Structure 1
Amino acid sequence: MTAIFGKLRFHRLQMAVPSSSACCSPSHVLREQILRAETPIRVFNLLNQQERDANFAQKKAERATVRSHFRDKYRLPKNELDETQIQAAADDVELPTELAKMIAEDNQEEEQKQSVLGHLTNIQNVDMGHLKGKAQATLEDLKNSAEKCSVM
């Protein structure tokens, strides 16, 4: 078995280093043509592979951005792999537009819920009109009492 591989290796060496008499042989010319034809194909394949790798890295970074956003939102521990993937994409990563819209809507809803009026609307049996009227009446009373005060 090793004798066969040894012969193949010797044959490859002969093909790789042509002698001066074999330079004009038909097999050498054919070999040169094949190498010339394969070179653009290899370059094309290499460029395609690089483009696919770049697209794949971009997608991985986008997914990592989404994961890190939700980790921040729900206060989960951060993942170093996600940070590395985002940095590998040269921080050129943005959230997908649909997700960005959803996040903006969620942020608006959370801001409304965190406001005082948002909390009051969540309480049942609260008449907002009555509360507003009472608040305005209180403000008017304060203004009137401030006008009557001689120190002010």
Structure 2
Amino acid sequence: TIIAAGLTLALLILPIIIINAQEAIRAVPRSLRQASYGVGATKWQTVWNHVLPNSMAGILTGTILAISRAIGETAPLIVVGASTFIVTDPDGPFAKFTALPILIYNWTARPQDQFRDIAAAAIIVLLALLLTLNATAIVLRNRFQRQL
């Protein structure tokens, strides 16, 4: 089902997001935290007002790149039970589903030339989506770093 696929991909990218968030938070200089404590801020105020804003660029970049990775993943979806070919759109969260990489593979395996053309177009769509997500991650990282 679609819910199983979503949960599988979420579990797949969760460690990546956690590690990126930890690294981004660790990258905040200790002197910034100590300066915040020095002017009387509590731990919560320090984290909320100084650590998170300074680490947000790394956290967002890591999250978007993890989502990009999940979009291209096919093997976990096949294990969960993605259909190799469906004709209709899913009508609910418990309906059969497929993923674009699975469809691309199926289209390239067919002998008709029309399927190869469709597969080429789908590859371009998937590539454009992934490049857009990566570009968004870069823009967000640069924007947050400029604000600091």
Task: Give the shorter-chain TM-score range.
Answer: under 0.3
Q: Point out which structure has higher relative CO (alpha carbons under 8 A, 6+ apart).
A: 2
TM-score (norm 2): 0.28
Bigger Cα Rg: 1
